[in-house]
Amino acid sequence: MTLHESSLIGTKKMRRLAEDNRGRFAVFSGNRYLIIRPQFEKFISASSET
């Protein structure tokens, strides 16, 4: 999933999340970040529970 596809959060916020969590749920490929959806959903659910 690209940043644009997950833009319900906002593109700039998604980019910051991807940069800060590279290897956890984001992968940098070429000139773009790709989001690994299952790991991203776990991250969002864990951060919204607290």
Distance separating alpha carbons of residues 34 and 50, to the nearest angstrom: 26
- Over the stretch 9-47, which tens digit does the pLDDT of each residue have? 777 888 898 999 999 999 999 998 898 989 988 988 888
Cα 4 to chain centroid, rounded: 11
d(CA 44, CA 16): 14
Return the higher-pLDDT residue of 23 and 48.
23
Is it the case that residue 50 has pLDDT exceeding 60? no
Distance of CA 2 to the CA centre of its chain: 9
3-state class (DSSP) for residue 11: helix
Q: What is the pTM of this model?
A: 0.70
